[in-house]
């Protein structure tokens, strides 16, 4: 099949195209209405259809005779465990847990928060919620109680599901005290906390609201899948925006299930039965779409990997997992490959493993730099495919559609628009720019099925943030350009969102926290280039007059403030003290200018700057700081 023809079909007649795709999954009630508009005049898919995502992921395959196929492989180098679960076994676990949740009083339409490490129970919890029409919100285990509390207050869960602990390389992280602290901080109080005790020795303080996971599953009957409307929110997943408040991306059920099935086949080129491994975390959208729902709906074997590309125990882990489980298609972030490359530059570990099962390596989460791509290709002879998407889209928007036609790879480009996405590059005035000209990456409405439905409890922010800047288009927040052959190059965010080791974080949120330090008069947090993590945050602070806190003390306190409030994953490790921050005459901090100075990128001094002299001051501070860090 030719990409051009297939892609064009999806734009010429989206209703027909996506009706055919919807027919490839099972519905309890087939949708008559394929594309319609919601109360906000925003496109929605299959509005009168009914289905259940857990049914598609488990029961359907069992009914079709595939119950004994392995659904999940749990591979945990940090606990030295490998455990395999068939579709039958997963269904029993999930259906009993779902029954247990119902017995705790939760009902269809309510929400549950899941705060768990990378263990099968995290997937069971998600699927159990989906089974009974409960909207889940998974919170990444690396987030601190303060972040968890913000999410609890926003989505008001009746139940939280957690585990006793996670493991970070060789460090046990006790989750239960973090959950208790979050509940303490939150205004909304969940009724029950279901705790899966891993019995690894972590402290598990008992509270009145606690329910033991194992006892709940053991003592409960299996429950069936309920039928939900296509637009029923399967989950809310919080992501960073340009303010201190995370945004709850709402995902529908029918459009998402259709899109995931479509993407497994046409983007990832994966057939049912294949072994698919997304080395991410269930706390991110990659985990939702391509560890849990996508591969299971497509009847693949999915891998839940509890480890890191390095240090668990070394840079050979990825290759060991591929060889041991005969992985066919893998997905990771370029930062993971950079981490491996740093530890094993000559790829010596790679030679020790039989990687012949691997057909394709997908990379996303941040731009794939050419050096990483070249290193990968030098050592592993399979296509390494960069592809671009976001929490908001839920599935790839730009890729080399491996199940359609393998197009030549252009290093630095994420490929071409995926079916259903009419991607345009606009200038500030909303006009399309020419080939190779940089602008805002937008998508002409309607978006295809499976993309965000709304923001949880905040339709206004949804409209302002995504739809108002360029009427008729979805604004992605990224900049980029298209070349003459329609390959798209993403150049980075045009807002204050940064990507640290594939983790999306808000510098605005960090600024709020840094500014809360009593010694700080004002501050700017910017994302600067980092060889390993892509970007890392850097705080520049102006101290209050008369405050005499030493630099190293202030840096220590601010670093810990961020670790306590957001989590270690934010990786804010550098704090510089400056006398003043560069601003426009109207008082806006010139963050882009600061970024360019730190990254040593050629810059022009904006004509609106308040005082040019400040630039020399900043350069001097940066140089001194770099020297002090080397010592």
Q: How far is the CB of 280 from ligand COA (least distance, A)?
A: 4
**Which of 571, 572, 578, 622: binder of ligand COA (CB under 6 A)?**
571
Q: Which residues contact 110 (CB under 8 A, 6 or more apart)?
A: 134, 135, 157, 158
Shortest separation between residue 476's beta carbon and ligand AMP, angstroms: 6
Residue 255: contacted member of ligand AMP, ligand COA, none (CB under 5 to 8 Å, by partner type)? none
450 binds, among ligand AMP, ligand COA, none (CB under 5 to 8 A by kind): none
* Nearest to ligand COA of 232, 308 (CB atom): 308
Q: What mask, x for binding ligand COA by CB under 6 A, covers residues 161 to 190?
A: -----x-x----x-----------------
Minimum CB distance to ligand AMP smaller for 338 or for 367: 367
Q: Measured from the CB atom, is 135 or 239 closer to ligand AMP?
A: 239
Q: Please state the closest distance from residue 547 (CB atom) to ligand AMP, in A.
A: 36
- Integer CA distances (angstroms), 359 to 277, 280, 327, 339, in order: 12, 19, 9, 22
Is 285:45 a contact under the CB 8 Å cutoff? no
Cis peptide before 313 (omega within 30 of 0): yes
Residue from 280, 419, 506, 507 touching ligand COA (CB under 6 A): that is: 280
Closest CA to 127 of 50, 45, 225, 220: 225
Token pair in block for residue 205: 């303080």
Q: How far apart are CA 252 and CA 449, in angstroms?
A: 9
**Least Å from the CB of residue 573 to ligand COA:** 8
560: which residues sit within 8 A by CB, 6+ positions away?
A: none
* Contact indicator for 507, 570 with CB cutoff of 8 Å: no
Buried b (16+ CB within 10 A) or exposed e, 248-262: bbbbbbbbbbbbbbb
Q: 89: how many CB neighbours lie within 10 A of its CB?
A: 17
Q: Binding ligand COA by CB under 6 A: which of 223, 231, 312, 335?
A: 335
Q: For the CB of residue 96, give the shortest distance to ligand COA in the complex, in Å.
A: 27
Q: Are 262 and 21 in contact (CB under 8 A)?
A: yes
How far is it, in rounded angstroms, from Cα 474 to Cα 467? Answer: 5
- Near ligand COA in 365-384, by CB under 6 A: 365
As measured in angstroms, the least distance from the Cβ of 168 to ligand COA is 4
CA dist list (Å): 543 to 334, 365, 590, 616 = 37, 35, 18, 19
The site for ligand COA, by CB under 6 A, has a size of 25
Site track for ligand COA across 458-497, x = CB under 6 A: ----------------------------------------
Complex with ligand AMP: residue 10 or 499, whichever CB lies closer: 499
- Smallest separation (angstroms) from ligand COA to the CB of 30: 34
Smaller CB separation from ligand COA, 101 or 358? 358
Query: Which listed option, ligand AMP, ligand COA, none, makes contact with residue 333 (CB within 5 to 8 Å by class)?
Result: ligand COA
Quick check: 284 binds ligand COA (CB under 6 A)? yes
Could you give the CA distance from residue 96 to residue 223 in angstroms, rounded to a whole number?
6
CB atoms within 10 A of CB 475: 18
Spatial strand order in the sheet of 360-363:
81-86, 70-76, 301-305, 275-278, 329-332, 360-363, 384-386
Segment 303 to 332, residues that bind ligand COA, using CB under 6 A: 308-310, 332
Please report, as ranges, the residues that interact with ligand COA according to CB under 6 A: 141-142, 166, 168, 173, 279-280, 284, 286, 308-310, 332-333, 335-336, 339, 364-365, 501-502, 532, 568-569, 571
């Amino acid at each position: 099949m030719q990409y051009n023809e297939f892609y064009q079909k999806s734009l010429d007649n989206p209703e027909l195209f996506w009706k055919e795709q919807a027919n490839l999954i099972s519905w309890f009630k087939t949708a008559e209405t394929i594309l319609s508009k919601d109360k906000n005049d925003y496109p929605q898919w299959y509005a009168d259809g009914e289905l259940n995502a857990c049914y598609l992921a488990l029961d359907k395959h069992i009914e079709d005779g595939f119950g004994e196929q392995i659904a999940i492989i749990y591979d945990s180098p940090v606990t030295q465990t490998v455990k395999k679960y068939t579709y039958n076994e997963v269904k029993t676990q999930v259906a009993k847990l779902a029954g247990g949740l119902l017995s705790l009083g939760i009902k269809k339409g309510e929400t549950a928060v899941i705060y768990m490490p990378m263990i099968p129970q995290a997937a069971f919890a998600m699927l159990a919620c989906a089974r009974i029409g409960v909207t889940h919100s998974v919170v990444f285990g690396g987030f601190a109680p303060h972040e968890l509390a913000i999410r609890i207050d926003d989505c008001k869960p009746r139940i939280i599901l957690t585990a006793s602990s996670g493991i970070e390389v060789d460090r046990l992280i006790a989750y239960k005290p973090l959950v208790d602290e979050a509940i303490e901080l939150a205004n909304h109080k969940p009724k029950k906390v279901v705790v899966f005790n891993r019995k690894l020795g972590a402290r598990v303080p008992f509270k009145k609201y606690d329910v033991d996971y194992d006892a709940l599953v053991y003592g409960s009957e299996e429950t069936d899948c309920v039928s939900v409307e296509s637009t029923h929110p399967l989950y809310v997943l919080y992501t960073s925006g340009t303010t201190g408040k995370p945004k709850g991306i709402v995902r529908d059920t029918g459009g998402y299930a259709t899109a995931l099935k479509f993407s497994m086949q046409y983007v990832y080129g994966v057939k049912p039965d294949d072994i698919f491994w997304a080395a991410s975390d269930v706390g991110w959208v990659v985990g939702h779409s391509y560890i849990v729902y996508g591969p299971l709906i497509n009847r693949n074997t999915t891998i839940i990997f509890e480890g890191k590309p390095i240090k668990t125990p070394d840079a050979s882990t990825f290759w060991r997992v591929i060889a041991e489980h005969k992985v066919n298609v893998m997905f990771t972030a370029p930062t993971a490959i950079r981490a491996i490359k740093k530890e094993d530059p000559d790829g010596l570990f790679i030679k020790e493993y039989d990687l012949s099962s691997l057909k394709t390596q997908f990379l996303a989460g941040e731009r794939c730099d050419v050096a990483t791509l070249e290193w990968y290709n030098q050592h592993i002879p399979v296509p390494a495919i960069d592809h671009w998407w976001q929490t908001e889209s839920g599935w790839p928007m730009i890729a080399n559609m491996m199940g359609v036609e393998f197009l030549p790879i252009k290093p630095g480009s994420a490929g071409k628009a995926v079916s259903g996405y009419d991607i345009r590059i606009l200038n500030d005035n909303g006009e399309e720019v020419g080939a190779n000209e940089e602008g805002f990456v937008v998508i002409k409405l309607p978006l295809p099925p499976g993309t965000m439905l709304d923001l949880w409890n905040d339709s206004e922010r949804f409209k302002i943030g995504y739809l108002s800047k360029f009427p008729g288009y979805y604004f992605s927040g990224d900049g980029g350009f298209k070349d003459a052959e329609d390959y798209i190059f993403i150049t980075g965010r045009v807002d204050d969102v940064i990507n640290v080791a594939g983790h999306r974080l808000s510098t605005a949120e960090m600024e709020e926290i840094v500014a809360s330090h009593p010694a700080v008069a004002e501050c700017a947090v910017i994302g600067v280039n980092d060889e390993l993590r892509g970007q890392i945050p850097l705080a520049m602070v102006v101290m209050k007059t008369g405050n005499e806190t030493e630099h190293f003390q202030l840096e220590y306190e601010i670093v810990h403030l961020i670790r306590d409030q957001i989590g270690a994953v934010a990786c804010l490790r550098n704090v510089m003290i400056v006398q003043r921050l560069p601003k426009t005459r109207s008082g806006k901090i010139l963050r882009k200018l600061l970024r360019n100075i730190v990254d040593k990128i050629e810059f022009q001094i904006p004509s609106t700057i308040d005082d040019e002299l400040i630039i020399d001051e900043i350069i001097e501070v940066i140089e001194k700081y770099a020297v002090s860090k080397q010592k």
